[in-house]
Chains A and B, each alone.
Chain A
Amino acid sequence: MTHPPHAAAKPGPDHYLALTLGAGVLVVFGGALVNRFLPLGSAPAPWLEAFASYFLAICLEATPFILLGALLTAVLELWLPPEVLPRITARLGLWGVPAVALLAPLFPVCECGVVMVARGLLRKGLPLPHAVTYLLAAPIINPTVLAATYIAYQDLAHPVWRGLGGLVVAVAVGWAVLAIKPRSALAAEPAPAPNPTAGPAVQPLDSLALAPEPPSPACGCGHDHDHSPAQGGVLARVAGHLADDFAEMMPYFLAGVFLASAIKTFLSASLLASLGGGVFLGPLTMMVLAAVLSLCSEADAFVAASFTEFSFPAHVAFLVLGPMFDLKLLLAYRLIFRGRFIVLLAALVWLGVSLMVAGVTVLR
């Protein structure tokens, strides 16, 4: 027995993103591949080595973290009852946002894995403002990241201000999203109705949560799918979620890494750093550097510590902004959010970090 052919679906933005990325990889590295396997082939240009080194390094570095994030998401998907998060956030009200930030270390993932986990939490009914707060806070309020910051700077001030700054900015942005109530923020369709078990107070927040996965209709469903959850054991279901989330994430992630690698290859960090210090320009320069360098939050402090010509607030700006918003994340966020919301989020994060740095400058 065979199913009738599925109807043709209109390609989504991820299709065109993947097409662009594929073309970019072919244009940049296609010649090198031909040269490598031709007996008379010439050596690749030196900049190609740097480009390939950055691209492969970030891919290799991040892949285990993305997989671990996807594994955590799969566990949440299978074992977290859907009514729990909406009910808790409804009870906490406004305080739910800082509570999420403070509980972020319970799911300690760096910024590559956090996108997967945030999507899983949204799917489980965590409201958008709370999920945004988690997304921004988790890569900073993280024991490994703060310990690495201490080692890099050999003082307590940097990790303490990094943690505090990250917490303040994440909560402020979360509250701002709660106040703005952006429409059509999520890449997937919003939940059609609030969860009845969560009570009426949940509605304003819950309406911004991702729709729970709809039940698979019996065949004729218009999807290209297996019904593996029903037919496999627990391991098969975990594997199904893990593999599919990973596969969905990687085109966005790879596009971000390709862009970041290109910019790292052609734009020297030292050149950017030479733009200088100063009360205003210093933090701004370090924020641009953090966005461009796209470093892992567990290693970025070692790089930041080498920019000795910059002030303390400028260093805090680098350490807080980097894990929240860099080039590789910019496209990874596309997995969860629509483009317009990403622009809004970027504006809020940059504004939040700028105000936080102003506060640090005054207090120090």
Chain B
Amino acid sequence: MRAFIARHTRAWLLAPWIILVGVMLAGGYYTFYVAAWHAWLQLIGLGLLVFCLLATWGRRGAPAPACGCGHDHGPEPGSKTGPSWPLLAVQWAPLFVFLAMGPTTLSLTSTGLGGQAAQSQASAPHAPVNPLATPLDDAPPRFEDGYQVLNILELHKIYVEKGVLPDKVQVLGRGYVLTPAEQANLAEDQRANQVGAFLYRFVISCCTADARPASVVLRGSGQGQVRTDSWYQARGRPVVLPGPSRSLAIELDELKEIPAPDPPYIVVAF
């Protein structure tokens, strides 16, 4: 027979995880960290944690016939055995991080990938996500005011698959304005094309640990309004910029600042 952790110690170990997963699910914050399809897995996890806690509490006051002494074997006051206090405390680490930071999302600013995204990842043939390998919706095209509503990854996919682009599109993404140093590191053709600002969204399959940015360059007078880390809805004509980088761009008709979408990421389910 196995020696078990005492019930109040076990409750202390389980509580932070129940709170964390419960808050993530109840507040919808889990979409900041994992793909939406993960919700049912989180529910199963929460269910198992609650089950453990209830099963622990359900035995309160029960005798311990295995040792025949008729009482509970919790640790004695001052006992040095059982999980040590650091082992108990670290169970609270994820909840502590969530409390300290609040809900967080990945951005090119926080990951420091802005320059690299501009150099290679705005380019359709070198998209960060293999667009052909992304099982996207087969739903019929949706239009708003004559603009086809797409996400950035779908735009890449259409170009790579069909070699042509829709006439007018509406995409949303987070803005990024290149610094002069980042612009200096661009490929020659990108500098000639005056690539200065783009919209991007991170694409995830499972969680933000596997996030990759997909982006589209902004062209036209509206690009001057772009501020790094703000969210925008862009409408315009998609084009491929001349040169070997073949950067995918939108000639802007309209750029509107919007609140962050939920989920903030493009989720590629499988």
A residues adjacent to B (C-beta < 8 A): 1-9, 11, 14-16, 18-19, 21-22, 25, 29-30, 32-33, 36, 44, 46-50, 52-61, 63-65, 67-68, 71, 77, 147-148, 151-154, 213, 215-219, 221-232, 235-236, 238-244, 246-247, 250-251, 254-255, 258, 260, 264-265, 268, 270, 293-296, 298-300, 302-303, 305-306, 308
Contact = CB atoms under 8 A, between A and B. Distances in A.
A250 B6 CA distance: 17
A244 B73 contact: no
B45 A63 contact: yes
Contacts of A61: 33-34, 38, 206-207, 209
B241 interface: no
Nearest to B111: A50
B113 A224 contact: no
The main secondary structure of chain A at its interface with chain B is helix
A251 B210 contact: no
Given A151-B133, A229-B66, A302-B129, A3 B87 contact: no
A300 B206 CA distance: 9
Interface stretch (B101-109, B139-147, B242-250): B101-109
B237 to A, nearest CB: 27
Interface in B41-97: 41-42, 44-45, 48-49, 51-56, 58-59, 62-76, 78-84, 86-87, 89-91, 93-94, 96-97
A151 B65 CA distance: 54
Q: With a 10 A CB-CB cut-off, give which of A21, A71, A231, A294 has the most chain B CB atoms.
A: A231
B180 interface: no
6 contacts: A5-B78, A52-B100, A54-B208, A231-B59, A235-B51, A300-B210
Contact of B208 (A33, A57, A63, A77): A57
Given A15-B86, A18-B87, A56-B104, A226 B21 contact: no
A270 B49 CA distance: 38
Contact of A242 (B17, B52, B112): B52
A32 B96 CA distance: 10
Contact of A147 (B38, B55, B79, B270): B270
Interface string B18-33: 0011001000001011
A56 B113 contact: no
Given A15-B87, A47-B112, A57-B34, A239 B133 contact: no
Interface residues of B, number: 98
Contacts of B44: 64, 67-68
B97 A52 contact: yes
Given A6-B79, A50-B110, A240-B55, A22 B49 contact: no
Contacts of A56: 33, 94, 97-98, 104
A242 B58 CA distance: 16
Contacts, number: 329
Contact of B55 (A48, A217, A232): A232
Contacts of A264: 209
Nearest to A218: B67
B176 to A, nearest CB: 12
A53 B208 contact: yes
A270 B64 contact: no
Interface stretch (B8-16, B163-171, B219-227): B8-16
Interface of B: 1-7, 9-10, 13-14, 17, 20-21, 24, 30, 32-34, 38, 41-42, 44-45, 48-49, 51-56, 58-59, 62-76, 78-84, 86-87, 89-91, 93-94, 96-102, 104-107, 109-113, 116, 120, 126-130, 132-133, 135, 205-210, 212, 268, 270
Contacts of A223: 3, 81-82
A266 B68 CA distance: 56
B33 A53 contact: yes
Contacts of A3: 73, 76
A306 B130 contact: yes
Contacts of A255: 90
Nearest to B12: A247
Contacts of B81: 6-9, 222-224
B64 A226 contact: yes
Interface pairs A-B: 5 shortest CB-CB: A224-B82, A239-B55, A230-B66, A299-B206, A64-B45
A55 B2 contact: no
A226 B32 contact: no
Contacts of B69: 1, 218-219
Given A226-B72, A227-B66, A299-B205, 9 more contacts: A16-B86, A33-B100, A60-B24, A148-B270, A152-B270, A232-B62, A238-B55, A268-B111, A294-B209
Given A68-B44, A218-B67, A240 B4 contact: yes
B142 to A, nearest CB: 24
Nearest to A224: B82
B49 to A, nearest CB: 7
Contact of B100 (A14, A32, A215, A300): A32
A223 B98 CA distance: 34
